[in-house]
């Protein structure tokens, strides 16, 4: 059996409140020992001195594009990108073609991901058939085949009666509904955040309330049904406050924020780079500060990329007609280290919680901890390494990143899945 000794790293495990310099011994696909100064022979030794040893990172919001848009990304390229970014498990969204709304499609994704062999992939299935917002998918059956959550992400479930039924069914299996909160009557055909900048740039805006009224609605439906709702890509100060109050009240709501929503503002749209076009849009400085505060106090449970790779043809066009989305798997960790860890907003243990333990818990999957006898999914991070983001070096087919050329700190040096190093 292969043996791997991760030596002298700062081992951070939120599930056991561990934050100490320790060695981690891996045999086969299991962690067999965590302790001080582990000795022995026949190991492959990973020198983790000065590095952070985290439970493998979990990204609960990824668009893999396959099947249907393989020119943008494939399960192979997307999972390779995930490994490069330090993720050992990702959950993929169902807005593919065909949509993931049948057991056969859930099986297809699982098989393709296993064949690619980079990281673990957990399918999120559609709330409604064909993402049409009308008829519910066979939720119970999809859970049995391995769907870990339900979402029509990319679009909202506008019909409140359908959302009520979805939450009633999902609560029978205790799986979360992941809500893309957008009132499309309010967002209309806006291209960026509605505010001073959209006026200056002469672009139609998407108001904060387009998100907030739906966050409020879904919290109300979750309160009424007792179901679990997870708010995807929280982007406004108002949404953070709604989630904070609902949690205090005991509503079963969780939330995620993306690296771009805690790293950029609508001022970055100046220059009209279509790589800043994303849904929900980049918001104001005050919103970014509120999202950071939400991540700090735990109102926002998880960091998720909303990795949305696009082909050049979808982005090298006028801002108004460009596709929404950012290729995010390979910059997420660096942005979190640079903008949250190094600036003291999150401690290492909080960062591991937001990027691993919490998303695993929300999805109800076995991941997000480092323990003896547990699966050896581990991410070794160099928090000090400084580099310039180069989209041409991305493993993802999607080169659409507003961070290209930006100097950042922190990178996954080893992504270990089932005891095997996957990012080299
Ligand atoms: Zn979305």
What digits encode the pLDDT tens for the residues 57-102? Answer: 999 999 999 999 999 999 999 999 999 999 999 999 999 999 999 9
Cα(315) to ligand 1 centroid in Å equals 18
Kind and range of the H or E element at 359?
Answer: helix 358-363
CA-closest candidate to residue 68, choices 93, 50, 95: 95
Return the half-sphere exposure (C-beta side, CA atoms, 13 A cut-off) of residue 106. Answer: 22
pTM greater than the 0.75 cutoff: yes
Kind and range of the H or E element at 348?
Answer: helix 348-352
Cα(154) to ligand 1 centroid in Å equals 4
**DSSP designation for 398:** -
The residue with tokens 């991540």 is 295
Could you tell me if 262 and 408 lie in one domain? no
User: Distance between CA atoms of 74 and 63, rounded to whole angstroms?
Assistant: 10
Residue 312 counted as domain residue: yes
User: Domain containing 36: what range?
Assistant: 3-52+375-421
Could you tell me if 83 and 206 lie in one domain? yes
Cα(53) to ligand 1 centroid in Å equals 30
Could you tell me if 333 and 200 lie in one domain? yes
Per residue in 134-160, pLDDT (tens digit) is 999 999 999 999 999 999 999 999 999
Give me the active site residues, please. Answer: 306
Cα(393) to ligand 1 centroid in Å equals 26
Could you tell me if 287 and 316 lie in one domain? yes
User: Distance between CA atoms of 218 and 266, rounded to whole angstroms?
Assistant: 26
Last residue of some domain: 313, 334, 363? 363
Cα(366) to ligand 1 centroid in Å equals 25
Cα(63) to ligand 1 centroid in Å equals 10
Per residue in 210-234, pLDDT (tens digit) is 999 999 999 999 999 999 999 999 9
Residue 46 counted as domain residue: yes
**Could you tell me if 138 and 162 are in contact, meaning their C-beta atoms sit under 8 angstroms apart?**
no
**Could you tell me if 323 and 277 are in contact, meaning their C-beta atoms sit under 8 angstroms apart?**
yes
Residue 34 counted as domain residue: yes
Residue 369 counted as domain residue: no
Tally the residues of the chain.
424
């Amino acid at each position: 059996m292969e043996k791997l000794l991760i030596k002298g790293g700062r081992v951070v495990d939120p599930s056991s409140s561990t934050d100490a310099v320790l060695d981690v011994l891996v045999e086969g696909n299991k962690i067999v020992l965590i302790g001080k100064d582990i000795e022995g022979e026949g190991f492959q030794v990973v020198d983790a001195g000065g590095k952070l040893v985290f439970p493998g990172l979990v990204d609960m919001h990824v668009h893999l594009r396959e099947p249907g848009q393989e020119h943008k990304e494939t399960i192979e390229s997307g999972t390779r990108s995930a490994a490069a970014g330090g993720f050992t498990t990702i959950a993929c969204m169902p807005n593919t073609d065909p949509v993931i709304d049948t057991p056969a499609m859930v099986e297809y994704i699982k098989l393709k991901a296993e064949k690619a062999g980079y990281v673990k992939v957990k399918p999120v299935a559609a709330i409604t058939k064909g993402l049409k917002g009308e008829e519910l998918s066979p939720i119970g059956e999809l859970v049995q085949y391995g769907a870990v959550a339900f979402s029509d992400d990319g679009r909202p479930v506008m019909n409140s009666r359908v959302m009520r039924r979805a939450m009633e069914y999902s609560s029978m299996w205790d799986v979360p509904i992941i809500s893309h909160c957008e009132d499309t009557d309010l967002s209309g055909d806006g291209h960026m955040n509605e505010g001073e900048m959209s006026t200056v740039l002469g672009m139609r805006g998407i108001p904060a309330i387009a998100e907030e009224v739906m966050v409020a609605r879904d919290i109300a439906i979750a309160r009424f049904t007792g179901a679990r709702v997870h708010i995807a890509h929280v982007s406004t100060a108002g949404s953070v406050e709604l989630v904070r109050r609902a949690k205090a009240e005991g509503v079963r709501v969780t939330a995620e924020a993306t690296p771009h929503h805690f790293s950029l503002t609508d001022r970055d749209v100046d220059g009209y780079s279509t790589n800043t076009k994303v849904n929900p849009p980049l918001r104001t400085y005050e919103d970014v500060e509120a999202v950071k505060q939400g991540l700090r106090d735990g109102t926002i449970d998880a960091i998720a990329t909303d990795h949305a790779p696009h082909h050049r043809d979808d982005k090298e066009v006028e801002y108004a007609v460009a596709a929404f989305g950012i290729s995010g798997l390979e910059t997420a960790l660096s942005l979190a280290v640079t903008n949250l860890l190094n600036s003291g907003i999150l401690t290492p243990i909080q960062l591991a919680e937001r990027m691993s333990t919490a998303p695993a818990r929300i999805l109800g999957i076995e991941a997000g901890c480092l323990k003896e006898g547990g699966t050896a999914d581990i991410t070794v991070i160099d928090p000090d390494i400084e580099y310039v983001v180069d989209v041409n070096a991305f493993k993802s087919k999607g080169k659409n990143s507003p961070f290209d050329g930006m100097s950042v700190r922190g990178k996954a040096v080893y992504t270990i899945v089932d005891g095997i190093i996957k990012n080299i």
